[in-house]
Chains A and B, each alone.
Chain A
Amino acid sequence: MNTIFSAEDRKGWMSLLSSADEARLTKLWLDYGTDPAFEFLRAPEAGGVMVRGRMGCTGAPFNLGEMTVTRCALALADGTIGHGYVQGRSKAKAEIAAKIDALMQTGAAGTLNEAVLVPLAEARQAQKVARAAKAAATKVEFFTMVRGED
């Protein structure tokens, strides 16, 4: 049974999974407790993606350097296809990401979202806010010194 979701939804969860902390993701996945039967369509493989920037931040693109990425594709028993694209070289993480991508297209989406994706998104947001708060504390507050002889 497949649920309705938009490309935007799928982009959201795949993006979240790609940079999730592996230890946290693995724990949440194991706690979720369902490991579906599947077949690999593409076994996990590590590779490189050339990251691009723009000259003067708005101009023409240039190649900045590569980053490591691991990807895989699998099919659940009901034929639902899941893709995993994760930063780094962990095949285990790519496999979990692909399983979650597949299950998020099925009736399991609601509980899986609550069990894994929501906590991941919260952790990511908390980490971002914590750094932004430290940065904010280093913002310079200028004050003008009054000078003069009288």
Chain B
Amino acid sequence: MYVAVKGGECAIENAHAWLAEERRGDTNVAELSLAQIREQLSLAVNRVMAEGSLYDRDLAALAIKQARGDLIEAVFLIRAYRSTLPRFGYSRPVETGEMACDRRISATFKDAPGGQVLGPTFDYTHRLLDFKLAADGEVPEAPVSAPREEATPHITEFLQSEDIIEREPASDAVPGDLTREPMSFPADRAVRLQSLTRGDEGFILGMAYSTQRGYARNHAFVGELRIGKVPVEMDIPELGFAIEIGEVELTECETVNQFKGSKTVPPQFTRGYGLVFGQSERKSIAMALVDRALRWEELGEDNVGAAAQDEEFVLSHADNIQATGFLEHIKLPHYVDFQSELELVRKLRREAAQLAETLAAKEAAE
């Protein structure tokens, strides 16, 4: 039951004033600028853009500052802002084959055309704290080499030429959009992918890890992981043709998974797909694993009852804003709800006590 109550305005105002002060912290320490957050906490910015489902580095930096670094709160701010934006339209599907790759690795082919390009990675660092960063240090310039001029081909192309992996036939089907129609089950793969790419990184990671530990195991190899910028094109009705409306940085992961065949198809590898805003490697790999696990039915696999196979379970709990909204609402006043429960327990206790008394009296009489 909900009952309107008034009160607390002054306390709330004062709490928000104190919040602003605490957000700023010690004023002897220089204030963070949005540009500093955007440039130096770029992976936090990427995460807020991916889960906020809005690609805008400056807005994500502002949200992180306002949220005091609480990334889920920052995602919440971005989602709220996003809902106020008029929707100009939908882009053409981005061509990740044209990506200007900062990083591109394959765990399946050592000598893949285009090579193993590590990019600015944490891999192979020793994960030891670097105390040089505690002092203001000049950063040496990164070495350069002759740049690759042509686009880097996808690894799956090579497997496809041998027909040894399932094909992803192109189509112009209009995908469902969960920002327009609420999700319903069964969800098709397009809606699943949209939900996974904006889902909470920790949740998607946990689900993906569960498949590796044996709950709906699907033996994923990272066929390819690539990070870089792609142009975004949109058809402009008033012009009658498409133009680039900007560029986005994306992380794409294609997994090559264990094979299956049927009466009509010889054994072949299957695929999982991850595509996420920004440099978001962990999320992208996790997304591909969960995508693959959720495809059990269309691939004719058994439902072994694993959580990662249950699309209603995965998709209904992947969104951290829905989750935190429902979770955190229980800290708000529930005085009336609780009052009714309190009265109920008191009544039950009275009844139990009366019953015990009656029984005791009966026993004594006998």
Chains A and B form a bound pair: yes
- Listed in ascending order, the chain A residues whose CB lies under 8 Å from chain B are 7, 10-11, 14-16, 18-19, 45-69, 71, 73, 83, 85-89, 128-140, 142
Contact of A62 among B144, B190, B231 (CB under 8 A): B190
Given the complex, which residues of B lie within 8 Å of A135, measured CB to CB?
101-103, 117, 119, 147-148
Asked if B232 and A67 sit within 8 Å, CB to CB, the answer is yes
Given the complex, which residues of B lie within 8 Å of A87, measured CB to CB?
245-247
Asked if A19 and B54 sit within 8 Å, CB to CB, the answer is no
Contact of B168 among A54, A88, A133 (CB under 8 A): A54
Given the complex, which residues of A lie within 8 Å of B143, measured CB to CB?
134, 137
Q: How far is the CA of A88 from the CA of B246 in the complex (A)?
A: 9
The 9 A-B residue pairs with the shortest CB-CB distance, nearest first, are A87-B246, A59-B168, A56-B168, A132-B147, A15-B244, A133-B144, A136-B145, A62-B190, A67-B55
Q: How far is the CA of A15 from the CA of B230 in the complex (A)?
A: 13
Given the complex, which residues of B lie within 8 Å of A50, measured CB to CB?
87, 89-91, 177, 179
Listed by A's residue number, 12 A-B pairs whose Cβ atoms lie within 8 Å are A19-B231, A48-B86, A50-B91, A51-B55, A55-B190, A60-B168, A65-B53, A66-B82, A68-B55, A128-B100, A135-B117, A138-B117
Asked if A55 and B92 sit within 8 Å, CB to CB, the answer is no
Select from chain A the residue with minimum beta-carbon distance to B170.
Answer: A58
Given the complex, which residues of A lie within 8 Å of B177, measured CB to CB?
50, 63
Tell whether A69 pairs with B54 under 8 Å between CB atoms, given A64-B194, A133-B147: no
- Listed in ascending order, the chain B residues whose CB lies under 8 Å from chain A are 49-50, 53-56, 58-59, 82, 85-94, 96-97, 100-103, 110-111, 115-121, 142-149, 154, 156, 167-179, 189-191, 193-194, 197-198, 231-234, 236, 238-248, 250, 252, 254, 271, 273, 275, 277
Given the complex, which residues of A lie within 8 Å of B167, measured CB to CB?
58
Q: Least Cβ distance of B152 to chain A in Å?
A: 10
Q: Least Cβ distance of B364 to chain A in Å?
A: 74
Q: How far is the CA of A67 from the CA of B50 in the complex (A)?
A: 11
Tell whether A73 pairs with B238 under 8 Å between CB atoms, given A48-B86, A67-B56: yes
Select from chain B the residue with minimum beta-carbon distance to A14.
Answer: B243
Tell whether A48 pairs with B190 under 8 Å between CB atoms, given A60-B175, A87-B245, A131-B100: no
Asked if A85 and B170 sit within 8 Å, CB to CB, the answer is no
Q: Least Cβ distance of A4 to chain B in Å?
A: 17
Contact of B242 among A11, A57, A59, A139 (CB under 8 A): A11
Given the complex, which residues of A lie within 8 Å of B250, measured CB to CB?
53
Additional A-B contacts beyond A55-B273, A131-B102 (5; CB < 8 A): A57-B97, A58-B167, A61-B93, A134-B102, A135-B102
Select from chain B the residue with minimum beta-carbon distance to A11.
Answer: B243
Q: Is the interface of B mostly helix, strand, loop or mixed?
A: mixed
Asked if A83 and B236 sit within 8 Å, CB to CB, the answer is yes
Given the complex, which residues of B lie within 8 Å of A18, measured CB to CB?
243-246
Contact of B247 among A19, A47, A129 (CB under 8 A): A19
Q: Least Cβ distance of A56 to chain B in Å?
A: 3
Asked if A60 and B119 sit within 8 Å, CB to CB, the answer is no
Asked if A61 and B55 sit within 8 Å, CB to CB, the answer is no
Asked if B56 and A88 sit within 8 Å, CB to CB, the answer is yes
Asked if A51 and B148 sit within 8 Å, CB to CB, the answer is no
Most buried by B among A53, A55, A88, A89: A53
Select from chain A the residue with minimum beta-carbon distance to B239.
Answer: A83
Asked if B58 and A57 sit within 8 Å, CB to CB, the answer is no
Given the complex, which residues of A lie within 8 Å of B90, measured CB to CB?
49-50, 52, 63
Asked if B277 and A65 sit within 8 Å, CB to CB, the answer is yes
Q: How far is the CA of A133 from the CA of B148 in the complex (A)?
A: 8
Q: Least Cβ distance of A26 to chain B in Å?
A: 16
Given the complex, which residues of B lie within 8 Å of A49, measured CB to CB?
87-91, 232, 234, 245
Q: Least Cβ distance of B198 to chain A in Å?
A: 6
Asked if A53 and B96 sit within 8 Å, CB to CB, the answer is yes
Asked if A53 and B50 sit within 8 Å, CB to CB, the answer is no
Q: How far is the CA of A130 from the CA of B304 in the complex (A)?
A: 50
Given the complex, which residues of B lie within 8 Å of A46, measured CB to CB?
85
Given the complex, which residues of A lie within 8 Å of B53, measured CB to CB?
65-66
Q: How far is the CA of A140 from the CA of B111 in the complex (A)?
A: 10
Given the complex, which residues of A lie within 8 Å of B110, measured CB to CB?
142
Most buried by B among A55, A56, A60: A56
Given the complex, which residues of A lie within 8 Å of B173, measured CB to CB?
60-61
Asked if B241 and A15 sit within 8 Å, CB to CB, the answer is no
Q: Least Cβ distance of A72 to chain B in Å?
A: 12
Asked if A59 and B245 sit within 8 Å, CB to CB, the answer is no
Q: How far is the CA of A25 from the CA of B244 in the complex (A)?
A: 17
Q: Least Cβ distance of B74 to chain A in Å?
A: 15
Select from chain A the residue with minimum beta-carbon distance to B277.
Answer: A65
Q: Least Cβ distance of A42 to chain B in Å?
A: 9
Tell whether A89 pairs with B243 under 8 Å between CB atoms, given A47-B85, A62-B189, A73-B238: no
Given the complex, which residues of A lie within 8 Å of B82, measured CB to CB?
48, 66
